[in-house]
Each structure stands twice: as structure tokens, then as C-alpha cells.
A = this chain, B = another copy of it.
Amino acid sequence: MTRIAFLGPRGTFAEAALRTMASAANAELIPAISVYAALEMVRDGLADQALVPMENSVEGSVPLTLDELSTDGGLVIVDEVVLAVTFALVVPRGVSLTSVARIATHPHAHAQVRGWLSANLPEVVVLPALSTAGAAEGLLDPERNYDAAVCQEIAAEIYGLDVLASDIGDTSDAHTRFVLVARDGVAPAATGADKTTLALYIHHDQPGALLAILNEFSVRGVNMTRIESRPTRKALGDYYFSVDIEGHISDARVAEALMGLHRVCLDVRYLGSYPRHDGKEPVLRDGVTDADFAEAQEWLRKLKGK
């Protein structure tokens, strides 16, 4: 039976996301205490795969995930899933809205429900917690110093809590993207609607290095869907770039761009090719399909062979 680790505790967005994936149906789902721990379980063979959050339409990328995948190696992304994020106000069984004086939640979630709170609980005190699921779980603790939690609704179910209000986020279309990570190996077969994730380390003494990278993609007609800069932990202003591109390592245009990057970058880390969650096929400009690459190679072969 496949074992899939996820960022716990039970009731997090990660578990909710995982349960939407076909591969989770017959798998053992194992909560991990941190992104780091979930990935370590895969590296150590305690799990076959791990589902970890990658980016969020409200808060941005998840630095820990990017950095762990980019710097430590050995793992690749094999699938992704995107989940709508909604928040609920949950309380221990029987508590009513009027008796809520103190709420615990993660500061990011707090930022997203600020509007609802000022309209409905203008006097409430909000305490910071390390995760929304942790805030929910804490409600089971008799010595807690708060009355309610803002978290995903799934947490109410898991911890036996009551939902006082659903979907209280200010931004109605917030989403979180999770990636399914496995030990380094052969990529899933290309589907025609794939993404590839890379970590690119540039030479910082070369002005225009970022422009050079974008040109490597642009010349081969490879579209970028995400670019994040992350510090290399060496010095202020020393970044690497975490990048998602459209296409699969087995696509000719992606392969040539990867080789080009490998030649101009200090380092290129390949973090996997995998099917896109939305199944959207790339709109390619003229001259960059596999057939175009093959035809050009045949043309060159004839020129040289004469």
C-alpha cells in the first residue's frame, strides 16, 4: 500500500487537498509535523510520496517547500493539486457567537478574514497560532486561553468542533497549490499539458543574468508560469530563482532550454515534470513543436552530410 505523507496535523488544507487526488484513494495517509518532516519521510523511505504546499494565491509561495526541494536534492515533483481555500469560525461544541471574546488563528488567515471579523466581531481579540489546524486542535485543551479558531472547515469535522460561520474569507477565490513529491526517478510520462519545475542559480557578478535566463526560455518558445526569487542563504542579494515552465522534460523545446540554462547558470536543479492540475495545453508559437525540432535536425543533417 502506497504511503503518502502530508503536512499535518489532520485537518490541514494539505489533507483536504490530498483527499481530492486519485492516488490517495487506496493509500495510507500519514500526517507529518512540518514540511521538512514530510519530505524527510520520503527521503528516508518511511513514505513513498509527500504532499506539501507550494504556493497560495493570497500569501504567495511557501519558502520552506521551495528551499527544501531546491537545495537538498533527491526529490522531484510528480503531480500537483490546487484547492480552493475557505475559512470557517469554529468553536467547541455548544459555544455561541456572542460568547466569543478571543480567537486563535495563523496570522495569514487572520489577514484574510479581517473584513468579516470587523463586521461581525468588532471587539474580538485575535491571538497568533502557528497553524490554523493547530488553533482548532487547541480548542480541545481545557487550559486554552481562547474561545474559537479560524481554520478550514475540515478541521471542525476531524476535531469534533462546531462551525459558527462558513466561508468568511474576504477574497472569495483564494487557492492553494500543493505538490506531490517522490524520490528522484523517471518523470511521469508527458501528457501534452505538463509543467516542469526548476531551481536556477545565477552568476551574480554578471549583470543581466536574469535577462539571459528569460532569453533561454523565450528563444525556444517556452512559457514561464511562475518565477520566485529566493535567497541562497549566502549573502543579502544573492538569489536563486524557483521557476515553473509549461512543458515536459521530454519535449524538445524544454530539453534544449534546459541544456542552454545548464550552460549559462551556475547551477540548474531539475525538480520534476508532471501533469498540470488544470489540464491546460500550452499555446505554442510557430516552430517549437517536437516535429519542428525534428525537421530542423534532419535539415541540418542533410546540410552537413553532403
State the A residues within 8 Å of B (CB).
34, 55-60, 63, 82, 107, 128, 130, 171, 173-175, 177, 184-187, 207-208, 210-211, 214-216, 218-220, 223-231, 233-239, 249-250, 255-256, 258-260, 262-264, 270, 286-288, 292-293, 295-297, 299-300, 303-304, 306
Contacts and interface: CB of A to CB of B under 8 A. Distances in A.
Given A228-B228, A258-B303, 4 more contacts: A82-B236, A175-B236, A184-B306, A185-B306
B255 A300 contact: yes
A145 to B, nearest CB: 11
B304 A287 contact: no
A186 B57 contact: no
B304 A250 contact: yes
Q: Which 6 pairs show the lowest CB-CB distances between chains A and B? A: A263-B287, A259-B296, A262-B296, A57-B236, A60-B231, A219-B219
Contact of A214 (B186, B210, B236, B239): B210
Given A210-B214, A287-B264, A293-B259, A225 B237 contact: yes
A268 B287 CA distance: 13
A231 B57 contact: yes
Nearest to A263: B287
A224 B229 CA distance: 13
A59 to B, nearest CB: 7
B57 A238 contact: yes
B259 A300 contact: yes
Contacts of A218: 208, 211, 215
B57 A235 contact: yes
A166 to B, nearest CB: 21
Contact of A263 (B186, B238, B250, B293): B293
B214 A303 contact: no
Nearest to A302: B270
Contacts of A295: 262
13 contacts: A56-B231, A58-B231, A60-B230, A130-B130, A186-B306, A187-B304, A211-B218, A214-B214, A215-B215, A249-B304, A258-B300, A260-B296, A263-B292
A138 to B, nearest CB: 13
A60 B60 contact: no
A80 B174 CA distance: 33
